[in-house]
Structure 1
């Protein structure tokens, strides 16, 4: 019996994805807690449209990320305990994809992000970011790739191309979003493993955004590739530093700039426009406080000389995660928006942009009471979200008009 190809561009496939339809309340929640430094919180927009949330699949165990195949609604989905799942024709394959690496599935660790090679059609490379255990029981973020079989059942020849050093995490703050820049480079976000001072250390890979080649090499124009900086031996892969736990990252399609969102402590979740060599402040500069309510011990304030201010921040943390720019014409009301998942607040946050400036903030899907872990734009122009729970779901989000 010949198996049908799992990559399809047919319109019929998108229709077969339907499972259940929920129409939520019109327009937005009139809730906005975010702002740019030195400005008042932005207003909520008035779109006049109702939101449709269509359930595609359920039964995912703490799904973390999704990557769509080129031109298709078929996809790969990671589950944090360590499984890579194939979504084909709107259904999950019975067995996980074989050949994935062993992961440190403890606390926030496990199998995290997934990204397809920009040349996937020819090289079939699937990139994974995951928590990897060290010899002392601590863990760090690792990145590798394998070749996906034609039937989608297996990754072969998995190769690790990057390891966070030293390994310091007991189960917290791995970061781990992957973004290709369209020029042969791969960005990855690395959490500071809940070891605050390391985010400022250029001889450690905690609290950093890195940029590497697709095979793990170091681009010659990385900001610290030429030698030491500030009297320290900077690791050549570092692109920026002073990050806490960046769990969302996306390339701005209108100017090619990398945007990263990251968890603050109690307050201080923020979005950064990431530029080479910049220090984004953690833990010296923060809009948040410790979970106890006391100040972060190392913090010198929200504005610290030598550090970059966030583009946008929340004084009350939504616990932000996945992020995507919306650049489709399918829903004109969403043009030039950024969608961000919120875990603690159980929301999909839409930020409307005017250039690089956020002009309104809309909170969606709160009626579902689901933790939103990942957000992606599909090739069909819909927004897809993964909900983080033992019975996680993939939802397709659109507007009624």
Structure 2
């Protein structure tokens, strides 16, 4: 069913605004920007992806809905064939990514939370063939599920990107384990919890993964992560960039290297919740840990980060090469200038609207920025020059 029909009858002021067309959302600040609600009524949307060679947007919602959004008129159509997900706590349907040769290779990849018969849960990766005309995901299959399943509803990760090498990279959270110290899941290279995974498009393990042949998980690409909920490829260097949640502050932006340890929880810049007690050493103090390129130390107020992208569109030439990262608890869209690995935060966007920013994406045809707001009745928003 076309969800615009539902929205038009919902009685929401924002829904009424967007039922027929995009609505401009006037607020103070954001000089030079036009902010439009493209569509509303999404249930905790988690990711936005632009359909290659098509221009429409694919939106995942945490409770398990996958839909196609027409950015011109706000029409929303749900997609059938989505796997059952464990929609509890932070779990549910999470990220989506298209095969690099889509639509010739019609695979759509999804990450999602799944549970076993004991009610324990984990992060999984799967794929199906997306038929846009039929509005269905055909033959969906689970490619990989992280072991072990654990009794937690938090910190699933999880972002997917394809690298320039054609491999699939997936972030996995630490599942909120409080067993701080060297025995923590994230420091255990025999598990994918608290890691970045690297897989072939069919879910098999690349022969050149950094731990193949070692006493470690073959799928592992990097470890020592707490909960990376943003990941993107630098458009010029091909580097893998991630945004990661700290504990009490300690949030990070990392450039991810093969085989590297990113410290959690033996090193970082955050503190235990409700205290000023450091979790471990500071990352720069250890030779076995990679220091983040940008971080928020304990007491700074932090930056709980979500989806991220580099700006490479044509609508905002002054933003070319800048990094955009969604801020959840801080309720704004962060903009960062990037020179190599020198990163500086500048000019926050969308402040004062009460929006938890879950994801951000650049439309390759128009250069507009599309933003997913994390809420129970949430809009997808478009940013264009005023």
1:178-203 deviation per Cα after TM superposition (whole angstroms, max 9, x unaligned): 00013321100000101251000001
Secondary structure of 1:397 counterpart: strand
Stretch deviating more after TM superposition (325-334 or 252-261): 325-334
Task: Find the counterpart in structure 2 of residue 373 from structure 1.
Answer: 358
Contact preservation (8 Å) 2:198, 2:209: yes
Distance 1:150 1:84, change over 3 A: closer
For structure 2, the 5+ residue unaligned runs are 1-18, 179-183
Runs of 4+ in 1 over 6 A off after TM superposition: none
Q: Which of 1 and 2 has higher RCO (CA within 8 Å, sep 6+)?
A: 1
1:384 equivalent in alignment to 2:366: no
Task: Find the counterpart in structure 2 of residue 20 from structure 1.
Answer: 23
Q: List aligned pairs for 1:241-252, cutoff 5 A.
A: 241-252=223-234
Alignment TM-score, normalising by the size of structure 2: 0.88
Q: Provide the aligned length of Structure 1 versus Structure 2.
A: 357
Task: Find the counterpart in structure 1 of residue 13 from structure 2.
Answer: none
1:205 equivalent in alignment to 2:192: yes
Distance 1:358 1:180, change over 3 A: same
1:218 equivalent in alignment to 2:221: no
Contact preservation (8 Å) 1:60, 1:392: yes
Alignment TM-score, normalising by the size of structure 1: 0.85
Task: Find the counterpart in structure 1 of residue 220 from structure 2.
Answer: 238
Q: List aligned pairs for 1:342-381, cutoff 5 A.
A: 342-379=327-364, 380-381=366-367
1:115 equivalent in alignment to 2:80: no
Give me the whole-angstrom Cα distance separating, in 2, the residues matched to 1:251 and 1:341: 16
- Structure 1 residue 301, shift from structure 2 partner: 3.6
- Structure 1 residue 18, shift from structure 2 partner: 4.8
Report the RMSD for the aligned CA atoms in angstroms.
1.8
Give me the whole-angstrom Cα distance separating, in 1, the residues matched to 2:347 and 2:79: 37
Distance 1:164 1:239, change over 3 A: same
- Structure 1 residue 24, shift from structure 2 partner: 4.5
Contact preservation (8 Å) 1:74, 1:90: no
Give me the whole-angstrom Cα distance separating, in 2, the residues matched to 1:19 and 1:75: 15
Give me the whole-angstrom Cα distance separating, in 1, the residues matched to 2:363 and 2:151: 33
Secondary structure of 1:76 counterpart: strand
- Structure 1 residue 370, shift from structure 2 partner: 0.5
Stretch deviating more after TM superposition (149-158 or 377-386): 149-158
- Structure 1 residue 266, shift from structure 2 partner: 1.1
Contact preservation (8 Å) 2:245, 2:252: yes
Task: Find the counterpart in structure 2 of residue 127 from structure 1.
Answer: 109
Distance 1:215 1:307, change over 3 A: same
